[in-house]
Amino acid sequence: MYSKNVPTSFPKDFLWGGATAANQIEGAWNIDGKGLTTAEVVKKAENHHTLTMNDVTKKSLQEAIDDKTDVNYPKRRGVDFYHHYKEDIAMLAEMGFKAFRLSIAWARIFPKGDETQPNEKGLEFYDRVFEECHKHGIEPVVTISHYEMPLNLTLKQNGWASRETISEFTKYTRVLFNRYKEIVKYWMTFNEINAIQGGFTGTGALDSQLSVSEKAQVRFQALHHQFVASALAVEQCHKIDPQAKIGCMLARMQTYAKTSDPKDVRAAQFQDQLNLFYTDVQVRGEYPEYMNRYFKENNVELKMVEGDEAILKQGKVDYLAFSYYMSNVTSAKQDVEKFSDTFIAGESNPYLETSDWGWQIDPVGLRVSLNEFWDRYRVPLFVVENGLGAVDELTHDGKVHDQYRIDYLRKHVIQMKEAIKDGVDLIGYTTWGPIDLISASTSEMSKRYGFIYVDQDDSGNGSLKRIRKDSFFWYKQVIASNGDKLE
Ligand code: BG6
């Protein structure tokens, strides 16, 4: 009779926690030597819910540079984690966090990106943050580049469109690995590397005036530079701190076929490959064949330098991290083989509910994705973002009853547990925005994800007071029971 040990729940050392990004929480955009970043020139939406993250033109960029306030640029103020980090980390510790994912603002370390020496004051800030995490027994999980870069690199060389940016990044990562050797055990290179598909936020390159096919050329070339930079960082990290683990990070878009018509199934398969292509390169160390045809048919000619392929092979990641918020539906009606310059697309799924922002909520899809990743790659997996963006109300007695968030998270935790029982090697779960922060796509404050409410509105008014929501107490019990008590 065949019998083998089947895990029944989360492993003992499972990394429960939450995830943030520097440009969405820190604030302090122009102090202690920090330079202006690409995230800080993206305007607040004039209409609620409007996506603004890639709406940057030469003209709007100049306006942003001339504007020395944070009024129209919420990512300049974040939620002032820079001055509240002790209080915030203590609250995460109160929930029992084992891990806290945060990013380092490149422009705190190299304000313009092209200096020869790092900004010591910037490094000292992260020294203090990591020290505070360790004091509470929390493992920092660090993203090296989360949707931002020093703006000077955009002005000087059009961001990642230029190959020169690789060496600036390599200089930055070398400083980080040396400084935080044995302090940071988990690194990841680029947040949601597939965000290049949407433009500026992912690439730091200004291309909004170009045609769709010209955009494809710029974006995939920028991506190639990021792939090389990421692989070089993996190699550096392994050399400098052999105990550390370094991963890639993908925005996972699980794709389903609209019907069982084989044409729809094929369209969905290819749409899914277009999502998995990024991890194919970073986990397997080479471009998959199906992309060669896609590049050819979309007139993309990647400029590679001799040695690039060897670098990609050498710099395979240790684990695969991903964000998971929604799934997608595709039919043959969509021409998936043609490059699309939007990041989130697809058709609606009649079986799923959506968030107030139209994101299709699909907990089972998380189990599907986990199994798919595990089957395909056989490397440890880490869910580093998942959560519900919602408008929360502070009641007159100063509470936030966010049962909808608890329901959302509970359903996803149940599916992760099922995936673990399926045999998937899942090492952790960091929910998005454990403390309310500025939305990446809309720059709103009112799109909240946190267990901790921050008293600040879309215009930056408020006391910045931190308040525990109902979900705070729920997550605390989930962590304490290692995922067993979910009610
Ligand atoms: C991910 C990003 O795409 O989704 C985060 O890595 C972002 O930076 C999160 O905040 C949620 O998106 P949004 O637009 O609701 O903030």
pLDDT of residue 444: 94
- Whether the CB of 440 sits within 6 Å of ligand 1: yes
Ligand 1 atom index nearest CA of 440: 16
Instruction: Pick the residue whose CA is nearest to atom 16 on ligand 1.
Output: 439
- Whether the CB of 191 sits within 6 Å of ligand 1: yes
Q: What's the rounded Cα separation, in Å, for the pair 250 and 321?
A: 7
Q: What's the rounded Cα separation, in Å, for the pair 371 and 378?
A: 10
- Whether the CB of 195 sits within 6 Å of ligand 1: no
Q: What's the rounded Cα separation, in Å, for the pair 16 and 19?
A: 10
Alpha helix stretches (DSSP H) within 378-402? none
Instruction: Pick the residue whose CA is nearest to atom 15 on ligand 1.
Output: 439
pLDDT of residue 44: 87
Q: Beta partners for 330?
A: 257
Q: What is the mean pLDDT of each run of 10 residues along the chain (487 residues)?
A: 80 98 98 98 83 88 96 97 98 98 98 98 98 98 98 98 98 98 98 95 94 96 98 98 98 96 97 97 97 96 97 98 96 90 82 94 98 98 98 95 98 98 98 97 95 97 98 98 97
Within 273-405, strands assigned E span 319-330, 353-354, 360-361, 381-385
Domains of the chain: 15-480 (3.20.20.80)
Look at strands 360-361 and 353-354 and give their pairing. antiparallel
Tell me, rounded to whole angstroms, the distance of Cα 245 from its chain centroid: 17
Report angle CA 78, 79, 84 to the nearest 5 degrees. Answer: 130
**Is the sign of the CA dihedral 365, 366, 367, 372 positive or negative?**
positive
- Whether the CB of 431 sits within 6 Å of ligand 1: no
pLDDT of residue 93: 98
First to last CA, the chain: 37
Q: Beta partners for 343?
A: none
Spatial contact of 427 and 319, defined as CB atoms under 8 Å apart: yes
Q: What's the rounded Cα separation, in Å, for the pair 445 and 104?
A: 21
Ligand 1 atom index nearest CA of 191: 6
CA neighbor of 18 nearest in space, from 336, 412, 452, 350: 452
Instruction: Pick the residue whose CA is nearest to atom 7 on ligand 1.
Output: 440
- Whether the CB of 192 sits within 6 Å of ligand 1: yes
pLDDT of residue 370: 98
Residue 453, SS3? strand
Residue 245, SS3? strand
pLDDT of residue 114: 98
Instruction: Pick the residue whose CA is nearest to atom 9 on ligand 1.
Output: 440
**C-alpha 147 – ligand 1 centre gap (Å):** 10
DSSP letters, 271-308, are HHHHHHHHHHHHHHSS--HHHHHHHHHTT------TTH
Instruction: Pick the residue whose CA is nearest to atom 4 on ligand 1.
Output: 440
pLDDT of residue 2: 65
DSSP letters, 67-127, are --SSTT-GGGTTT-HHHHHHHHHHHHHHTT-SEEEEE--HHHHSTTS--SS--HHHHHHHH
Instruction: Give the residue numbers annotated as catalytic, written as ranges.
Output: 385
Residue 472 is encoded by which pair of tokens? 């705070």
pLDDT of residue 1: 61
**C-alpha 296 – ligand 1 centre gap (Å):** 32
pLDDT of residue 208: 87
**C-alpha 251 – ligand 1 centre gap (Å):** 10
Residue 206 is encoded by which pair of tokens? 């200004």
